Copies of this chain bind each other. A is one copy, B any other.
Amino acid sequence: MSLPKTRHSAAAPKTRRRAAAPEQRREQLIKATIKCIARKGLSSTTMADVTKTAKLSLGIVNLHFQSKEKLLVEVLRYIADEYKAGWDAIIRDETLEPAEKMLALINFDYSAEIAHPAKLAVWFAFWGESSSRPTYRKICNDADLQTTASVKKLCRELGCRSNRRAELIATGYTALADGLWLDILVTPEEMDRALARDVSLNYMASFFPDHFKAP
């Protein structure tokens, strides 16, 4: 909208510039955004912050993502995809027994890559906004739902007879992971990845004492 478009003053780029593959620029901007969200929070992260962090010019986000909103959605999707990819790789690994899979999943959930403070900050920043933003919610949910479904299946394979019981355990596992991530993010003095792993292992061990040993 807005009438006045005919610019009569000139706006001239002063410095050198470089061209890059679009996909590369997008990732560069997404990573800069993650850094900013971790540092300043979602609502305080501005386009200027992001582009300065990426050492690029102000206009570049709109060039590659059309709008800030779309950038943010891509950021969330980027993290969600990374999580789902890692998780799926384990689930599909046919060399592992169910208990080994579950163990691998626990280790994955609290690996340095996944339980990284910046990424957790992003997760919860979006979760905090998710109740009023359907798009965010959808992406956040998808990850959780897949997780729960996989764990439930594993529970059955681990010998859980009742479907209802498997449901409770799997739902609990996902919720527990969310809560532990929150603790890692918010009280790093009290909670670290190792402890979170132990708590999760302890959880599984209590339900499947034959397959897991409490730490």
CB <8 Å contact, A179 and B186: no
Report B-chain residues with C-beta under 8 Å of the C-beta of A141.
Answer: 186-187
A residues 33-53 near B (Cβ < 8 Å) are 38-46
CB <8 Å contact, B43 and A4: yes
CB <8 Å contact, A41 and B186: no
Interface mask (A80-119 → B, CB under 8 Å = 1, otherwise 0): 0000000000000000000000000000000000000100
A15 within 8 A of B: no
By beta carbon, the residue of chain B nearest A177 is B179
A212 within 8 A of B: no
Q: How far is the CB of A147 from chain B (nearest CB, A)?
A: 11
CB <8 Å contact, A199 and B183: no
Binds B, one of A21-29, A127-135, A151-159: A127-135
Binding site for B on A (CB under 8 A): 1-8, 10, 38-46, 67-69, 72, 117, 120-121, 124-133, 137, 140-141, 144-145, 165, 168-169, 171-172, 174-180, 182-183, 185-187, 190-191, 195, 198-200, 202-203, 206-207, 214-215
Q: Could you show 22 A-B contacts with beta carbons less than 8 Å apart?
A: A3-B42, A3-B129, A4-B42, A5-B44, A5-B45, A5-B46, A10-B67, A39-B132, A41-B131, A41-B132, A42-B43, A44-B132, A120-B131, A137-B186, A141-B186, A144-B186, A171-B183, A171-B195, A171-B199, A174-B179, A175-B180, A175-B199
